[in-house]
Amino acid sequence: MAMLILAEAALAFAGLLDDALVYLVQSSGVLGHPVRRRVMSLLVDREIATREELVAALSDDETLSEREVERLETMLHHDHLPRLEEELLVEYDDRNGDVVLRTDPAEARELLESTPKN
């Protein structure tokens, strides 16, 4: 009987943690930025990518200059990917540029859909 109560309590606690994570991500605005939203959208489809692949996908607009593409890569490396990693949404290896989706793709898609765009 005690084991059943402990198991139910553990499941309830896990549910609360999931709800808390969703609240923190939404309230922090990490997914409010269009670049971070696009990165997450790309990773929902691929689950793993390199920083260079993300830059190529994000800069597929031929109107971007080489300097703007370089700036985008710098912003991904120093700002956007570390913020997503802080929120436990991705794992980012800044040495080799690998980016891995940490959460289930369906959960990440739901999070994107439920987070207001800024």
Task: Report pLDDT digits (tens) over 32-69.
Answer: 889 999 999 999 999 999 999 999 999 987 778 889 99
pTM above 0.75, yes or no: no
Task: Report pLDDT digits (tens) over 14-26.
Answer: 555 555 555 454 4
C-alpha dihedral (57, 61, 64, 66), degrees to nearest 10: 50
